């Protein structure tokens, strides 16, 4: 856990002196914080087996030569850290706090690569009868579902296989450990993270497994870059809808139907990719229509994918109006739909799954707060449009031509239905 890095404000809303510091955030709440270096960092030392393999006579030796010795041993003799040593370190520290430190309640917090240690530590402690009641919370902050998925989006699709080949015994499956932990859990995520892509984040990995990969026995490989289905690649090459392709057999086309609750509780992989293909097709046609009208924004690749819904003049084509609304759809995932569409098919699929899993949790939570005694009966809970709205109360005063908040899902659906039913008459009514 970083001493200065975080994505939470200070506990005191009137003071910004401790913004972005997890440590100060916790201490302001009266929570003691214990931080440590992984084996091989700073003054932390030991064998590959961490604490369990240390000799009784081992001790820390200060000085430049001793530091060089530790670096040499770590790099060439007992390489550290590895995913296994990270997990062993976290578990050893947690057990020391519980067994020797007299700690009764433990919050396990891991940031970025610290999620590897935090998730495994929480899983082991929460499954042990002697310690399961002492794990109060697991927080995985801006971490990944697995390291290979991160590398694929930073370097290239081949890098995930390269890591598997060069380090075949490494396991960085944070998603599996996180899901296996039997304690309250929080996923903190930054959809604009420059290193850990949103599609490779722990949030997306959990959502993908719960929604479309729930039948598989392992989470290994969740979040990896996925090849676009052939029928959509062919249709994109022809620049037509997949239904109009000359090279795609009718049997390959997904005839997706709107899900009916509770019969259809999950979407399939095919339905998720069809959704991604439809979004991309609408965006591509909108881009072409904007070029025709001379309104293309070259700096942003010819199309706005952010939150500037409504900033377009009413004389623009209806398709562009519809795309502006769709691109700014707020799925309660941390980013509007258009951002994911711009990043590719697998990013759009991850957005859709996150919307269904985590967005659904938020909507359900707000409905439960309004209900009496926090009822969880789905037949009693009342879902209202405001449950989908994450905009502040005075958002209209803050909006202008260059900045609008992402639109909640019910508002997006209403606008799209209106355009579909009225066609070009919709623009005339808005003038």
Q: Exposed, middle or buried, 101 (CB in 10 Å: 0-12/13-18/19+)?
A: middle
Per-residue pLDDT tens for 240-264?
888 888 887 776 666 666 667 667 7
Domains of the chain: which residue ranges?
22-211, 256-430
**Which of 207, 252, 153, 216 has the alpha carbon at shortest distance from 351?**
207
Q: Given this model, what pLDDT does residue 102 score?
A: 86
Torsion angle of the four alpha carbons 50, 33, 203, 85, in this order, in degrees rounded to the nearest 10: 0
What does each C-alpha distance from 382 to 268, 413, 419 come to in angstroms?
Answer: 27, 19, 28
Q: Given this model, what pLDDT does residue 20 score?
A: 65
Q: How many other CB atoms are there within 10 angstroms of residue 352's CB atom?
A: 26
What single-letter DSSP state applies at residue 47? B
Walk along the chain (431 residues) and give the pLDDT tens digit of each residue. Answer: 455 555 565 555 555 555 567 888 888 889 999 988 887 676 666 554 444 444 444 566 778 887 787 777 766 666 667 888 889 999 999 999 998 888 999 999 999 999 999 999 999 999 999 998 999 999 999 999 999 999 999 998 899 889 888 888 888 999 999 999 999 999 999 888 889 999 999 999 999 999 988 777 788 889 999 888 888 888 889 888 888 888 877 766 666 666 676 677 888 888 899 999 999 999 998 888 776 555 444 444 444 433 333 343 444 578 888 898 999 999 999 899 999 999 999 999 999 999 999 998 899 888 888 876 656 666 677 888 888 998 888 888 888 777 888 999 999 999 998 888 876 554 444 43
Q: Given this model, what pLDDT does residue 115 score?
A: 93
Q: Given this model, what pLDDT does residue 14 score?
A: 58
> What DSSP line would sit under 311-363, residue for residue?
-S-TTS-HHHHHHHHHHTEE-SSSSBHHHHHHH-HHHHHHHHHHIIIIIHHHH
Q: Given this model, what pLDDT does residue 353 score?
A: 94
Q: Given this model, what pLDDT does residue 203 score?
A: 95
The partner residues of 108 in beta bridges, in order of sequence, read 138
pTM of the model: 0.81
Q: Given this model, what pLDDT does residue 6 score?
A: 58
What does each C-alpha distance from 190 to 112, 198, 201, 347 come to in angstroms?
Answer: 11, 7, 9, 14
Q: Given this model, what pLDDT does residue 402 score?
A: 75
Structure tokens at 20: 């972005």
What does each C-alpha distance from 226 to 200, 221, 343 come to in angstroms?
Answer: 12, 10, 13
d(CA 405, CA 391): 7
Q: Given this model, what pLDDT does residue 293 score?
A: 55
Structure tokens at 279: 């979004």
Please provide residue 115's backbone torsions phi and psi, each rounded to the nearest 5 degrees: -65, -25
**Which of 212, 213, 210, 208 has the alpha carbon at shortest distance from 223?**
208
d(CA 360, CA 388): 9
- Is the separation of the CB atoms in 404 and 310 below 8 Å? yes
What does each C-alpha distance from 159 to 21, 166, 251, 253, 258 come to in angstroms?
Answer: 33, 10, 34, 32, 37
**Which of 38, 8, 49, 47 has the alpha carbon at shortest distance from 26?**
8
d(CA 250, CA 244): 10
Q: Angle formed by the axes of helices 147-154 and 158-166, to 10°?
A: 130
Please provide residue 203's backbone torsions phi and psi, each rounded to the nearest 5 degrees: -55, -50
Q: Angle formed by the axes of helices 83-99 and 114-127, to 10°?
A: 50
């Amino acid at each position: 856990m970083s001493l200065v890095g975080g994505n939470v404000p200070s506990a005191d809303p009137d003071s910004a002196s401790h913004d972005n510091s997890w440590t100060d955030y916790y201490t302001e709440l009266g929570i003691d914080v214990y931080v440590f270096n992984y084996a091989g960092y700073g003054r932390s030392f030991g064998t590959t087996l961490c604490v369990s393999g240390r000799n009784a006579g081992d001790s820390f030796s200060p000085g430049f030569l001793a530091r060089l010795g530790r670096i040499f041993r770590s790099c060439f003799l007992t390489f550290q850290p590895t995913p296994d040593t990270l997990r062993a370190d976290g578990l050893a520290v947690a057990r020391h706090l519980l067994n020797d430190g007299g700690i009764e309640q433990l919050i396990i917090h891991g940031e970025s690569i610290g999620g590897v240690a935090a998730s495994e530590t929480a899983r082991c402690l929460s499954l042990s009868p002697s310690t399961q009641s002492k794990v109060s919370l697991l927080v995985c902050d801006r971490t990944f579902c697995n390291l290979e998925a991160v590398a694929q989006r930073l370097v290239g699709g081949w890098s995930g296989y390269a890591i598997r080949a060069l380090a075949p015994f490494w396991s960085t499956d944070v998603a599996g450990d996180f899901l296996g932990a039997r304690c309250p859990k929080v996923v903190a995520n930054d959809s604009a993270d420059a290193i850990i892509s949103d599609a490779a984040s722990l949030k997306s990995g959990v959502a993908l497994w719960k929604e479309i990969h729930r039948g598989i026995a392992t989470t290994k490989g969740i979040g990896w870059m996925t090849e676009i289905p052939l029928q959509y690649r062919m249709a994109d090459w022809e620049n037509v809808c997949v239904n109009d392709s000359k090279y795609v057999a009718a049997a390959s086309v997904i005839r997706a139907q709107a899900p009916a609750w509770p019969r259809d509780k999950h979407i399939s992989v095919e339905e998720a990719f069809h959704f991604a293909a439809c979004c991309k097709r609408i965006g591509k046609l909108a881009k072409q229509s904007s070029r025709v009208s001379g309104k293309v924004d070259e700096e942003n690749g010819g199309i706005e994918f952010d939150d500037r819904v409504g900033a377009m003049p009413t004389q623009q084509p209806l398709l562009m109006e519809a795309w502006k609304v769709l691109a700014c759809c707020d799925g309660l995932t941390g980013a509007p739909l258009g951002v994911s569409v711009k990043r590719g098919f697998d990013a759009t699929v991850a957005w859709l799954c996150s919307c269904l899993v985590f967005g659904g949790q938020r909507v359900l939570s707000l409905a439960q707060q309004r209900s009496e005694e926090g009822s969880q009966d789905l037949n009693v809970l009342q879902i209202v449009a405001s449950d989908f709205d994450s905009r502040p109360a005075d958002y209209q005063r803050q909006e202008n031509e260059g900045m609008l908040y992402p639109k909640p899902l019910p508002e997006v659906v209403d606008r799209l239905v209106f355009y579909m039913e009225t066609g070009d008459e919709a623009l005339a009514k808005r003038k």
